[in-house]
Structure 1
Amino acid sequence: MILPRLPARSGSSRSDLWVLAGSGIATVLLTRWFLATAGYPKIGGGGLHIAHVLWGGLLLAAALVITLTYPGRAARRVAAAVGGAGFGLFIDEVGKFVTERTDYFYRPAAGIIYLSFAVLVAFVVRPRDPGRRTPEERTAEALRLALDGVPTGLTAAHRAEALRLLTPTGRSPADAADAAVRALVTALPDRDDPWAARRHALAALARRLVTRPVVAVAVAGVYLLLVPPLVGGAVEAAMGDLWQTRELGASLAMVAAAAVAAVIAVRAAFLLRADRPRALRLLRASVLVDLLAGQVFKFTALQFDATVGLGLSVLLLAVLTVELDRRRIPLNAGHTPPM
C-alpha cells in the first residue's frame, strides 16, 4: 500500500506558529487575570450564560475565513494572531468539559492548558534540517514566496531566499517549473523592508551570545542549581510533608520529572568540554523533560503561580535551539551516551 505524500511544509510556518502560540498564551493569562480581578462576572441573564469559549469559537472561525479568503504572509500572520486568541479562550474553559459538574476551577485544568501549548511550542522549536527537502518541496516553497510578493513586491531577503531554493539540487537546471518560478521571482518589483537592518542586528547579537562557550556553561550551571531543591523535595516527600498537600500525585510527579531533568543536565555538564554537540543535545532534552512533564505537574499543583518559574526554562530552550539550528545538529544524530 502506497501512502499519499504529505504536502510541502511552508517555510514561514515556524514564525506563524510562534504568533499563534504567543497569542493563545497571552489570551489565557489575560483572561484568568481579568476574571479574577473582576470577580468572575457572567455575560447574560435569565438563566443564560454566554461562556467565553463561544467567543473563542468565533475567533477561530474568523481566522479560518481570513486564511481562506486572503493570500499572503500578512494575512497568515493576522490569522495566526486571531486564531491563537480564539484557541486561548477555548482551552481556558477546558475544566468545564472534562468534569461532570462543569467545573471551571478544576485544578488539573491548568496542567491541561499548559500541556496543550507546550506540545505546540515543542513542535515549533524542533531543529530544522533544510537539506532534507526534496527538489519539489524547494520549488513549492520558492513559489509560495513569489506568490506572497505578487501584491506587494519582494524584499531583498525574500528574493534571495527564493532564488536559493531554486538552485538545482539533483535536477536539471533547465527544469520547466524552476525556470517559470525563477522568472516570476525575478520579475516582481522590489519592496523596502525598514526593519530588516534591526532584525539582522538583533539576530547577529543573539548568535554571538549563544555561540560563546560561557553561555553553554552558564546553561549547565543554572540547571545544576536545581539539584539541591530536588534533594530537598525528595527528603520532604520521604518525611511525609508532601502527603499533606492537596495534589499529592502531581507533587510527587513534579519532583520525579525535575530529578530526571537534573540528572540529564549533570551528564551534559561533564560532556561540555569533550563533546559539546552531544552536551547541547542532552541539555535540550533536559529542558524538554521539564517543559513537557515537570511543568505540567507544577501547574496542576501550583496552578498559574507556576507561570513565574516557566520563563527560565523557556529562555534556556530558546538559547539551545538557536545554537542547535546554527550547528544543524539533528536530534537523532549519533547515540545518546549512557546515563
Structure 2
Amino acid sequence: MSRLLALALASTLGPALSFAALSFAAPLHAQGAAAAALPKPEYLTVEQLRAKYRDPASRFMTIKGVEVHYKDEGPRGAPVLLMVHGSVSTLRTWDATTARLKTRYRIIRFDIPGYGLSGRISDEVAANVQPLDITEGLVDALGVKKLTFVGVSSGGTMGMYLAAHRPELVERLILSNTPSDPVKYDHLVMPQSFIDATARTKANNGFQDMDFWNNYLSYFAGDPKRISAKTRAEYYDFNRRVPEKYPIALVARIGDGKQATIEMAKVKAPTLLLWGNADPLLPEAAANAITRYLGSATISRVLMNDVGHYPPLEVGDRIAQLIAAYVEAGTPKL
C-alpha cells in the first residue's frame, strides 16, 4: 500500500487506536474522480443521536466536567465486568456479549467522551483531564471495588493503564486486538473500493459516508457477513456526529510507545488475549508483542483465525463464552 493511503487509514483509525490524527490523503487523480459526485455531509448532533439511540438502560454521569453515557446492568452483587470499546466505536460494541452475560455478571460499559452518546469535550477538559480519570471516576462513583477489565483495540490500552495504576481494583484483564506498539500501516493491502471511499472522504472534507463504513467494517472483519446492516448503520450514524475539537483527548494512547512500555511492565493482573487473527492491522505478531510487554503478568491466549479486528462485533456469543470460562475457571491463582 502506498504511503499516502497509509496516512489516509491512519487518519481514520487514529482517534480510536491512539495514533496521531493525520490528514486524509490520496492520489490527486483519485481525489478528482471522487469529487465528481459527493454526498452532502449530514452531521448529527449529540442531542439527535441521544434521541435516536438512548434506551431504558442509558444513564448519564458528569465526571471531571464531561457528561458520560454509560450502562450498568446485571445483579448488584455479581462479579463486575467493565467493558470498554475501541476504534471509532461505542459501548454498543459489547451488546451481544452483554446480552449473553448480564444475568450472571454486573456489566458496566461507557462511551468514551467525544463518542457515542457521551458529551462533548471542552477546552478546559482537554487541558486538564486524562483518559484514566473518566474510567476511575465512573467505577469509583458506582462503588466498584474489584473488576475484570474487558477491552478491544484502544479500549484494551485503557485497561492496561488502569491495571498498572490501580492493581487493587483490576483482578484480571481480557484484551482483544490491542496495540502495544505504535501501529504501522505499510503492510496493509486495501481493496480498490476502500481506496476510492477514502479518497472521496478526503474530497468531502473528512465526511465518511455509508459506503466508507461498509468498506471499513468489511475490511477489518474476518467474515464481513457477520457485521449486520444494523451495526453498519450505527457506525455511520455515530461517526457522523458533529466533529469534536479534541477527538482523541480522552482516548488511551500508545503514543510513541515509551510511556506505554513502562506502564505495561507494571501490570501483574492475569491476562487473557482473545485475538482475532484475521485482523489485517494487528495479527498474531501483535499478540506476541503484547505478551512480551506484559512480562510481569501470567498470559493466556486464544487465537481465532476466522475473526478480524473487532471480535465482539463478529462473534459476541463466542467472546461471552470465553470470558465466562476465563473468569470462572481459567484465571491463574497467583
Give the TM-score taking structure 1 as reference length: 0.21
Give the TM-score taking structure 2 as reference length: 0.21
Higher share of residues assigned helix: 1
Higher relative contact order, structure no. (Cα contacts within 8 Å, ≥ 6 residues apart): 2
* Larger radius of gyration between Structure 1 and Structure 2: 1
Higher share of residues assigned strand: 2
